[in-house]
Structure 1
Amino acid sequence: MKPEISLKVNEKFKADYVKGYPLILKESVENIESIRAEGAILRLTDKQGRFIGKGYFGKQNKGYGWVLTRNERDVIDQSFIRGKLESALAKRQSFFDNLSTTAFRVFNGEGDGFGGFTIDYFAGYYLVSWYSEGVYTFKAEVVAALSELVEFKGIYQKKRFDTKGQYIEEDDFVAGERGEFPLIVKENNMNYAVYLNDGAMTGIFLDQRDVRYTIKEKYARGKTVLNTFSYTGAFSVAAALGGAAKTTSVDLAKRSSSKTIEQFSVNNIDYESQDILVMDVFNYFNYAKRKEMKYDLVILDPPSFARSKKYTFSATKDYTNLMKEAIEITEDDGLIVASTNSASFGMKKFKGFIDKAFKDLGKKYSIVEEFTLPSDFRVQKEFKEGDYLKVLFVKMQ
């Protein structure tokens, strides 16, 4: 039985929680810093002791835990979790029925009513990602509930929090049978190699599925494509399959080269006909400008924060400058796919970064496509930060 702790909500945050805001912030609740029991059940009340909501304590980069219910009689146990999972799975039935796509999100944390963990589906395997020690204390209940609801080949997990020596398993395998990796999944009939047992990343970001499809179907044919911060080259694969004249993938990580070669290979694309470069993206921009190189399509999908020997990049501070670099090596009638997964600002501010870059350079543009999270990444309307993905297809004029 988990301990239950009663906490008072500070008055200026009361209305937000009553309306359904799910994230428990340090400043929103009195004395939360005194709690040490990760996973403890939190009973939130107003200053008069009237019940507001119930959740759990789990420190992560976003906050100190999540509100899970506004019903005082709810018990946060395996049955409660099963109900959340069952509802989420039902909402993804169309994805399970779609044979052209075998990788998608089946549970998106607070968007499906239980913040702090997500579950992704990969061709018969399920991957649970935990974002705090607090939510990890629910592991047994989550795995048991999932096992009751679905047939699976295997279940894996990734712990995306600082374990400080605790909760260390031999590997990421949880239940069922071990997979053989790489596991080849389909996404709109494109193939991608994924790894569920190899560190924090799988090899593909599922939230960009609609963007990859759009590049492949509408914008790649006959184009020269530059994919910056390319990771495993997933955008490059989509462009090549869409008939791109040539793709260039640039990423600083040494593993990016072999991973990108693998992604091309599982799609029967001759990787030697593509350019795959391991170097700092900003150094590549300088190189391209010196050589007077220009591309028809430039893809910008940087991490929210990155550091190399010479450069530090923060999406909040530096996206305008990044966009300027891209503009200077894009053909006059070309296209830039500008993307960010930063939750610290919204679409309006992101469009402001793009606008400033063009105005500073005295150039004109139009936005021809706009994307946020795909439908399997369900978001809660009371928690706008949860809809973190922002992608703009920007046409040079």
Structure 2
Amino acid sequence: MRVVLKPGKDKLLRRGYPWVFANQIHRVEGRPRTGDVVEIAAADGTLYGLGFYHERSQIAVRFLTPDPEATIDAAFFRQRLERALALRETAFGDSTHYRLVFSESDGLPGTIIDRYGEVLTWTCLCYGMEQRRDLILDLLEELLQPRAIVERNDNSLREKDGLPQQRGILRGRYDGPVEIVEDGVRFRVDVLEGLKTGFFLDQRLHRPVVARLARDRRVLDVFSADGGFGLMAAARGAAHVHLLDISEPAMQRARENARLNGLDLSRLTFDVANALDRLGELVAQGATYDLIVLDPPAFAKSKRHLDDARRAYQRINISALRLLPPGGLLATASCSQALDEDEFLKIIHYSARRVGCGLRLLYRGTQPPDHPVLEAMPETHYLKFFLFQKMADEVPPVRQ
């Protein structure tokens, strides 16, 4: 079975881009069904390799291997998993919490596998991979002997591949939250009920950077979730930490994590509110902080949401800069893949002009090694992180 591309529609594939879209296909030879492995060929017959086929999705083929003779079996997937595991063990040493598989970047299309010690989570957006789920779970049990494998497929993107949303325990026994230790701070992670797969693993390199600057500072952690940034700042000697999130369950987990670390609760404020509204209220009240962290959810799920996302990012960054005195620190992030780094920087610079301040860049970051970026695939690069210092220099504000 073979998918033949239209003339000139193989340019992205030649550059290493791993998706073939339906409008690139000239014809389909044979009668493949959704989830079958097909050959991918250029109009002149050049074979590019094998991929998973989907009859109805806009992403018609997800690339698997350049070897057209490869057998997509247990040995194939074992090799991919072993390679992914080796990278994480090299990058993180004895740490056992990380993203074990990051979809196309690890050669396993549409598949996310997170590890929290003896518990794994499974998330899949690709029909072909979902069909082979039990095979891959068998391999994971052989390689890692997990106590439990939990399904976190409560993601609307699954519907694009004709897959239902669902959540539950796939293998083993899950008795409740798993404890992890990050830079000496303990967190209890609920992989079944928590946000995403239980913890924001992609910010692991940035939390210690912020925490080292938090000593004796008044910290505001916005979109705090289970308290990753804020509690690490408190553990490193912040004078006071204000955690702000709209989720009451997340805030309850943050309280439990604070107690787990023996933190002084009198130095912590747990605030359940809409962050965009609360930031404006804090500005109106004349509140001030020395260090503010903005780690919002993806405001732009796709390019059609970009205008609304820009306004939301502007709103929170303008408010945060107004809450900081000269010399204050702003750690600001975006996990919207549709918003590239240059555009995000423009938003931050615009926000500074609106406030009438200068900025000094202290640190810039992106995804850690367990979220590798496939150079030919922009979709795998999503996280932008900047740490700025607000400068006293006055500049003319931008007028609306």
Per the shorter chain, which TM-score range? 0.7 to 0.9
Aligned counterpart in structure 2 of residue 205 of structure 1, from 200, 207, 216: 200
* Corresponding position of 1:19: 15
The 1:31/1:272 distance shift into structure 2, 3 A limit, reads: farther
Shift of 1:145: 2.1
* Corresponding position of 2:89: 93
* Corresponding position of 1:128: 122
The 1:294/1:37 distance shift into structure 2, 3 A limit, reads: farther
* Corresponding position of 1:288: 282
Tell me the secondary structure at the aligned position of residue 342 of structure 1.
Answer: coil
Asked if the contact 1:315/1:340 (under 8 Å) is kept, the reply is: no
Cα deviations by residue, 1:198-255 (Å, 9 ceiling, x for unpaired): 26634311000011111122x1101111111222221111111111111111112232
The 1:49/1:67 distance shift into structure 2, 3 A limit, reads: same
Cα deviations by residue, 1:128-158 (Å, 9 ceiling, x for unpaired): 2112444211202211222232332222222
* Corresponding position of 1:39: 35
* Corresponding position of 1:275: 269
Answering whether residue 151 of structure 2 is matched by residue 157 of structure 1, we say yes
Q: Within 1, Cα distance between the matches of 2:56 and 2:357?
A: 42
* Structure 2: runs of 5 or more not aligned: 392-400
* Corresponding position of 1:382: 376
Aligned counterpart in structure 2 of residue 196 of structure 1, from 191, 195, 198: 191
* Structure-1-length-normalised TM-score: 0.87
Answering whether residue 81 of structure 2 is matched by residue 82 of structure 1, we say no
Shift of 1:325: 1.4
The 1:314/1:29 distance shift into structure 2, 3 A limit, reads: farther
Asked if the contact 1:132/1:160 (under 8 Å) is kept, the reply is: no
Matches within 5 A, 1:104-123: 104-123=98-117
* Corresponding position of 1:71: 67
* Structure 1: runs of 5 or more not aligned: none
Asked if the contact 1:130/1:161 (under 8 Å) is kept, the reply is: no
Answering whether residue 235 of structure 2 is matched by residue 237 of structure 1, we say no
Tell me the secondary structure at the aligned position of residue 105 of structure 1.
Answer: strand
* Corresponding position of 2:170: 174
Cα deviations by residue, 1:284-310 (Å, 9 ceiling, x for unpaired): 122212211111111111111399xxx
* Corresponding position of 1:137: 131
The 1:267/1:57 distance shift into structure 2, 3 A limit, reads: farther
* Corresponding position of 1:50: 46
Asked if the contact 1:227/1:298 (under 8 Å) is kept, the reply is: yes
Q: Within 2, Cα distance between the matches of 1:62 and 1:300?
A: 34
Shift of 1:343: 0.7
Cα deviations by residue, 1:248-297 (Å, 9 ceiling, x for unpaired): 11112232321221221221213343111111112212221221111111
Shift of 1:95: 5.2
Q: Within 2, Cα distance between the matches of 1:157 and 1:16?
A: 33
The 1:347/1:96 distance shift into structure 2, 3 A limit, reads: closer
Shift of 1:357: 1.4
% of aligned pairs identical?
Answer: 24
Asked if the contact 2:32/2:38 (under 8 Å) is kept, the reply is: no
Q: Within 1, Cα distance between the matches of 2:280 and 2:200?
A: 28
Moved more, 375-384 or 294-303: 375-384
Aligned counterpart in structure 1 of residue 215 of structure 2, from 211, 215, 221: 221
The 1:31/1:205 distance shift into structure 2, 3 A limit, reads: farther
Aligned counterpart in structure 1 of residue 387 of structure 2, from 380, 384, 393: 393
Tell me the secondary structure at the aligned position of residue 349 of structure 1.
Answer: helix
Shift of 1:369: 0.4
The 1:152/1:301 distance shift into structure 2, 3 A limit, reads: same
Q: Within 2, Cα distance between the matches of 1:168 and 1:282?
A: 29
Tell me the secondary structure at the aligned position of residue 244 of structure 1.
Answer: coil
Asked if the contact 1:285/1:325 (under 8 Å) is kept, the reply is: yes
Asked if the contact 2:206/2:365 (under 8 Å) is kept, the reply is: yes
Asked if the contact 1:295/1:330 (under 8 Å) is kept, the reply is: yes
Cα deviations by residue, 1:149-199 (Å, 9 ceiling, x for unpaired): 233222222214457797687x622223x1321211111221111112226
Tell me the secondary structure at the aligned position of residue 367 of structure 2.
Answer: coil
Cα deviations by residue, 1:75-115 (Å, 9 ceiling, x for unpaired): 222221111111111122235632xx331112211111122
1:143 counterpart letter in structure 2:
L
Cα deviations by residue, 1:307-334 (Å, 9 ceiling, x for unpaired): 9xxxx99434432232111111112110
1:341 counterpart letter in structure 2:
C
Tell me the secondary structure at the aligned position of residue 291 of structure 2.
Answer: strand
